Amino acid sequence: MRWPLAAVALAGVMVASAAAMVGASDSTDRSLLQIEAVSSRLSAAPAAVESVAKAATDRSVPTSDAQPLLETAARSSFNVDGMLAEISKAVAAAGSDAVDPKAFAKAAAAWQEGQAKVARMYQAQDQVAAKEIETRLADPDKGPGIKALADLMAGPDLAVESAVTSQLMYLSLEAVSSADAGKLASVSRDKLQSEMKGVIASQRARSENEKPLPKDIARADEKMRLTFVLATLSQEDLSVLTDFYRSAGGKAKRDALVDSYRRVSDQANGEMLGRYFQALADYLKTHPRPQQQQ
Query: Which pLDDT tens digit goes with each residue over 210-226?
Result: 999 999 999 999 999 99
Q: What does the pLDDT read at residue 179?
A: 60
pLDDT bin (cut points 50, 70, 90) of residue 178 is confident
CA distances from 206 to 46, 99, 138, 140, 252 (A): 22, 38, 34, 37, 28
Q: What is the mean pLDDT of residues 17-32?
A: 64
pLDDT band for position 25 (cuts 50, 70, 90): very low
**pLDDT of res. 293:** 47
Quick one: pLDDT at residue 254? 97
Q: What whole-number distance in Å separates Cα of residue 46 and Cα of residue 77?
A: 9
The answer to whether the beta carbons of residues 237 and 107 sit under 8 Å apart is yes
Average the pLDDT over 200-213 and give the result.
Answer: 93
Q: What average pLDDT does this structure show over 66-92?
A: 96
Q: Looking at residues 10-27, what average pLDDT do you find?
A: 49
Report residue 17's pLDDT band, with 50, 70 and 90 as the boundaries: very low
The pTM score is 0.88
